[in-house]
Structure 1
Amino acid sequence: MFRDLSRPIETGMPTYPGDPDVTLAPDATHEADGYATSELRTGTHAGTHVDAPRHTLSDGQAIDEREVGAFAFDARLVDLRPLDPREAVGPDALPELCVLDDNVDLLLVRTGWASRWGSERYRDHPYLTAAATERCREAGVGVGLDTFGPDPTPTGGGDGESTEIDSDEPDGTPAHDVLLGGSLPIVENLCRLDGLPERFRLYAFPLRLRGGDGSPVRAVAEWEE
């Protein structure tokens, strides 16, 4: 069985604060030209995408330098719901290393924030502590999430309300740095996680962007019924 876990690429879709806006518009049309083409303008981290080490590490590997097989994963789903806005997820919330090491190379962390896609509240997602990602790095597993990423995202206040930020919330990209520093994948903005089995195959093949720091993907889960 197959299921698409990726967000549609469309004009005006949510993007990480400061990233380029996405536009998808007609270029040639059947009426005027006898065929159709479109112009797509997007950042490399729009929608469902995979990060390359170069994303946060200046000397990190680029997306096109990875073997294509590195984007086909034996995944394990861990459902952490319910979580509070901007809640820090520590290593105790994740499976033990012996379980992670059991033919798993990607841990898909479900926070429940996929349901907030399209609202300012999507920015207030829970995040992984550096210690949590160290557990993943020790086990040699990457991370997939239904959020903007494993680190906190700058808040937009959402729905006219201020979002209180804990003084212990880290600056920068420590969770990214731990994972990407170990050449481990990060797949972000996943969706449609309802009813997934605990174990499945995940395919998240990027565009072959020369020197790219990341790429949108068509993320597809596969499992036996």
Structure 2
Amino acid sequence: MRVTRIVDLSRPIGPGTQAFPGDRAPELTRSATLAEEGYNSTELHMSTHNGTHADAPFHFLADGARVDELPLELFTGRAVVADVRGRGDRSPIAAADLGPWRGRFVPGAVVLLHTGWSAHYGTDRYFDHPYLAGDAARMLVDAGVRTIGIDAPSPDETPFGAHPGSGWDTHLAVLGAGGTIIENLCGLELLDFPDPWFSAFPLRLDSGDGAPVRAVAMRWSADG
């Protein structure tokens, strides 16, 4: 078997990275230059939840596993891309909406929610994204799914401005089961091949509640 295509599903990290309400955007400062020190080096200050990143159970649970304690198997696997595009602002994705893919929700599967909302990245509307309803999150967890990704800032409704949000049902369901959530994905519309293999390994941050990832999807083909 060999990889014949790799699709980058990650947002770049920099001053233009759109931050979750209450977080600061990343700051990059040149700490050394070729002209002065003979090499280039950059200092980075950022939230563990900037850009495309993984949430660990400790993000919401005091006794939850840190990102460096999670099994690496959570961050790679065969992806099930659920196309739930065409929804209105702040609309819920219910368990019934995932019916067409339900037979593929098995232990080890990575469920990627393709809302199409990455098109609004960089605008306030990005935070008015569709979200995964609690019944849908519990259905996935009951089926053995422990990794969920979304092309939006959160699988739960995001509090923003006049919108208070609806709680953290999906985070609590998935992280409470020892799973992980990959947020701020992009490029899911490029996955036009069957059974993509997903990979999004986080930085091994000590005792982290989350960490940046380089999320990619790969197409495999038999040699010859």
- For normalisation by structure 2, the TM-score amounts to 0.90
**Runs of 4+ deviating beyond 4 Å:** none
Aligned counterpart, 1:193: 188
Counterparts in 2 of 1:92-171, with a 5 A limit? Answer: 92-95=96-99, 97-101=102-106, 105-141=109-145, 142-156=147-161, 165=163, 170=166
Q: Does 1:20 align with 2:20?
A: no
Q: Deviations over 1:17-38 (max 9, x none)?
A: 1123211121101111110000
How many positions carry a matched residue from both structures? 214
In 2, Cα distance between equivalents of 1:156 and 1:13: 19
Identity %: 40
Aligned counterpart, 1:69: 73
Asked if the contact 2:67/2:205 (under 8 Å) is kept, the reply is yes
Unaligned regions of 5+ residues in structure 2, if any? Answer: none
SS in 2 for 1:94: helix
In 1, Cα distance between equivalents of 2:108 and 2:75: 13
In 2, Cα distance between equivalents of 1:186 and 1:88: 17
Distance 1:198 1:94, change over 3 A: farther
SS in 2 for 1:135: helix
- For normalisation by structure 1, the TM-score amounts to 0.90
Aligned counterpart, 1:44: 48
Asked if the contact 1:144/1:190 (under 8 Å) is kept, the reply is yes
Aligned counterpart, 2:207: 211
Aligned AA for 1:187? Answer: I
Asked if the contact 1:120/1:156 (under 8 Å) is kept, the reply is no
SS in 2 for 1:150: coil
How far does residue 66 in structure 1 lie from its aligned partner after superposition? 1.4
In 2, Cα distance between equivalents of 1:46 and 1:209: 14
In 2, Cα distance between equivalents of 1:131 and 1:190: 23
